[in-house]
Structure 1
Amino acid sequence: MARKNPSRRLRLRLLGVLGLLALIGGGWAWWQVRHWQPPRSAYPMQGAEIGTGDGPVDWKALKAIGADFAYLDASASAFARDDSFARNLEEAKAAKVQIGALHRYDPCQPAERQAANFVTVVPRDSTMLPPAVELDMLGDDCPTPVSDQGIESELTTFLNQIENHTGKPAILKLTARFQSRYKIASQIDRNLWLVRTRFQPDYAGRPWTLWTANATLSTEAGEAGLRWVVVQP
């Protein structure tokens, strides 16, 4: 019977050990990202973005882990509305968490219809935070592509209408791909909300006001990972 090559056995063992270490390291890195929050000493004001996709939220627990505020997903495009908005609004107020409302902007739909959708869902309440508008969808993806000039013009109309309703300038939640395509941060003068897990975002070319620092933060406030947001001090 032929004997196995000792050097081959050693290589296989080393590969097995290296594979195990890689699994352990990957698991540790995943756990670190899921539980990472920017230090409170650097960012005293912290909160979350909450919507139906996050599942049921324990607002008292959210307050206890340090959420000073929450932005609630309210509406999207011309007709869609977040099913959990009214409940989250009531429970957040009861937990004494300061709240704001967010609309997901759709460049394929007219600004007036989207603004009507938002103001139907979001109450006129001077105690709420400035409204936020998520900009991620591109006009190039519309059934009839929208020009760059059309994007800026319609977005400006939408902002004017919801700001008239809320009485406060909106915050632009700007993704990297939208900014790369339209350079909107230099076209429209509003505070910015940028997104990048763990590392500070710099893709807008000017300072941000809000930062989604962890898109999947694991907490006892809910089963799903939370979108954790901090305020520029």
Structure 2
Amino acid sequence: MARDRKPPLPRTRLAALTVTATTTALALALTAPPAIAATPAKGHDVSSHQKNVDWPSAKAKGATFTYVKATESTTYRNPSFSRQYDGARAAGIIRGAYHFALPDRSSGATQAAYFVAHGGDWKADGWTLPPALDIEYNPYDRKHGCYGLSKAGTVNWIKAFSAEVKRETGRRPVIYTTARWWNTCTGDNTTLASTHALWIAHHKSADAGPLPAGWSYWTFWQYDNGGSLPGDQNLFNGTVDQLRRFARNY
């Protein structure tokens, strides 16, 4: 995921995925995360690129969840957001909203407030996924992939975003990223992993690859940028019942 005209995501080297059996406060609301679940829930994510999504068709093809791009920085809202977000729910698909971060434009707290006000809210109805923060290489200036921030500055920006989302919704955001970006731009920071679920981007490989520093397993895996479902293809590391519990209890 990225701006509405997406650059390719950076690849990371392959490695075996190890999933811990230790339950934490954010551990999918599961009782021992499987590696991978025998029947992982299938889903996708969409943005204004997809516009008029045929949600009943996506449901028929196996979609159980979707993330919909809501906002970017504090100047952009997906014009198709409401139609996509509400359409997914009407089709019986669990849905959530994500924000594309541009940390060089404004503070984390400011962008979080904009996001929550424009689709990033949450409610414990079992149909609403936690808000998600998409933070990755700068698509507008590849020479400044870390947005001109120091490693500590990047971590502080994410913490500020997370704190504001938590203050307004009661939930911490899921963090979408790549291992390479995280380890490069946060300096292998591990302090956020214990309180945030991971949405890892790693495409066209047999597994999710090495995880960012601090995480021992992924909650969502974006494994391809095209496939049978509209937009990017994803898995949830658990069953549909576990996904619903995660949406309600994370």
**What TM-score, normalized to structure 2?**
0.68
**Shift in Å, 1:198:** 3.1
* Counterparts of 1:178 and 1:152, CA distance in 2: 12
CA distance in 1, matches of 2:145, 2:74: 14
| Correspondence for 1:100 | 96
Q: Which structure carries more relative contact order (alpha carbon 8 Å, separation 6+)?
A: 2
- 1:44 and 1:86 map into 2 onto residues whose CA distance is 27
**1:50, distance to aligned residue in structure 2 (A):** 1.2
* 1:105–1:137 Cα contact (<8 Å) kept: no
Q: Which residue of 1 aligns with 2:83?
A: 87
How many matched pairs? 189
Q: How many Å apart are 1:85 and its aligned residue? A: 0.7
State the distance in 2 between where 1:144 and 1:203 align: 22
> 1: CA distance between counterparts of 2:87 and 2:147?
41
What is the correspondence of 1:196-211 to structure 2 with a 5 Å cutoff? 196-199=202-205, 200-201=207-208, 202-205=210-213, 206-211=216-221
Percent identical across equivalent pairs? 25
Gaps of 5+ in 2: 1-35, 239-250
Deviation at 1:148, TM superposition (A): 1.4
Higher fraction of helix: 1
Residue of structure 2 in register with 1:112 after alignment: 109
Is residue 2:197 matched to residue 1:191? yes
Residue 56 of structure 1 deviates from its aligned partner by 2.0
Contact 1:49–1:70, Cα closer than 8 Å, also in 2: yes
CA distance in 1, matches of 2:37, 2:147: 48
Structure 1 pair 43–134 and aligned structure 2 pair: CA distance change class (3 A): farther
Match of 1:118, as an amino acid? F
Matches within 5 A, 1:83-232: 83-108=79-104, 109-122=106-119, 124-126=121-123, 127=125, 128-137=128-137, 141=144, 145-181=148-184, 182-183=186-187, 186-189=190-193, 190-199=196-205, 200-201=207-208, 202-205=210-213, 206-219=216-229, 222=230, 226-232=231-237
Coordinate RMSD, CA, aligned: 2.5
Distance 1:129-1:41 versus aligned 2 partners, 3 A rule: closer
The 1:146–1:64 alpha-carbon spacing in structure 2 relative to 1, beyond 3 Å, is: same
- The 5-angstrom pairing of residues 19-38 of structure 1 reads none
Q: Is the 8 A contact 2:204 2:223 kept in 1?
A: yes
* More deviation, 174-183/85-94: 174-183
Structure 1 residues 134 and 64: alpha-carbon distance in aligned structure 2, compared to 1, 3 A threshold: same
Distance of aligned partners of 1:145 and 1:231 in 2 relative to their CA distance in 1, 3 Å threshold: same
**Deviation at 1:184?**
5.3
- The CA distance in 1 between the partners of 2:237 and 2:202, in whole Å, is 14
Secondary structure of the structure 2 residue equivalent to 1:149: helix
TM-score (norm 1): 0.73
The unaligned stretches of length 5 or more in structure 1 are: 1-39
Contact 2:43–2:65 (Cα < 8 Å) also in 1 = yes
Deviation track 1:19-61 (CA, whole Å, cap 9, x = no partner) reads: xxxxxxxxxxxxxxxxxxxxx9834311110111123210000
Q: Do the aligned partners of residues 184 and 115 (structure 1) sit closer, same or farther apart at CA in structure 2, a change above 3 Å counting?
A: farther
CA contact 2:71–2:100 (8 Å) conserved in 1: yes
Q: Is the 8 A contact 1:47 1:228 kept in 2?
A: yes
